[in-house]
Amino acid sequence: MFELRYSTPSQWVDAVLADFDTFLQDHAAAEKKASGMAISMLSHYPDRFKLVDAMMDLSIEEMTHFRSVVKIMMERGVQLSADEKDPYINQFRRAIRKGSDAYFLDRLITAGIIEARGCERFGLVGEALPEGKLKRFYVAIAESEGRHNTLFYDLALEYFPKEVVEQRMDELLDIEAEIVRELPIRSALH
């Protein structure tokens, strides 16, 4: 497995708690996009049976998370917002190499790292919230995201030699850490 190389600062949690409705809007958009990414993966790699099976399940799980976040938003009187480009995702995608095998490996590894970052940040939100429904929800979401980063790592090992996966993981973890270190603090997942 792997560990992220940069920890989210406490100022990020403060920003989320200070504008939680905006965070919910961003969280909903992230879940919807994650479901779409899973559908895209299975569509691009229909010959990879384990990947197709895993991405079908993931797309449904992410859409279920989306529905849950939207329900929380509705209870709070918060509407969905238009999707915005995520600066973290856009910058991280620039690290994905060209070439079919390199591209496939990088998509798997970056997806796992993105899920690991979501796990870390949802966990921080869960820890910071007072006891209650929202806290339980974010603790559960963090656990789910933790399983997702393992899923993508395991899929990478299914299709590539371990030393190749670990070398590229090492490079991409450094790139991701630098991106997160430079991100502005805002009430958004990334």
Position 1 scores a pLDDT of: 65
Distance between first and last Cα of the chain: 22
The interaxial angle of helices 133-159 and 49-76, nearest 10 deg, is 160
The answer to the question of residue 102 being in a domain is yes
The answer to the question of residue 188 being in a domain is no
Low-confidence ranges of the chain (pLDDT < 50): none
The answer to the question of residue 5 being in a domain is no
The answer to the question of residue 166 being in a domain is yes
- What's 62's domain CATH number? 1.20.1260.10
The answer to the question of residue 7 being in a domain is no
The interaxial angle of helices 100-128 and 10-18, nearest 10 deg, is 70
The answer to the question of residue 9 being in a domain is no
The answer to the question of residue 27 being in a domain is yes
Structural domain boundaries, residue 60: 14-182
The answer to the question of residue 51 being in a domain is yes
Q: How many domains does the chain have?
A: 1
